Amino acid sequence: MTAASAALFSRLHTRTGGPDDLDGPKLLEHVLGWVLVLVVAMFVTGAGLL
């Protein structure tokens, strides 16, 4: 693979969303995810669905 084709391939390469694509505050995302789980659980139990 030449340098020009490698550069073109790197620009056209689609990202798969793997671990290298993660950016931002991961701790905040985890905390907000668990808060959402708790809110849904409170809604389910409060509505008498469980």
Average pLDDT of 36-48? 94
Token pair, residue 18, equals 């793997």
Q: Which of 22-26, 27-31, 37-41 has the highest mean pLDDT?
A: 37-41
Q: What is the pTM of this model?
A: 0.49
Average pLDDT of 29-36? 93
What single-letter amino acid sits at 29? E
pLDDT band at 48 (very low <50, low <70, confident <90, very high): confident
Q: Which residues of 1-50 form beta strands (DSSP E)? A: none
Separation of alpha carbons 41 and 50, rounded Å:
9
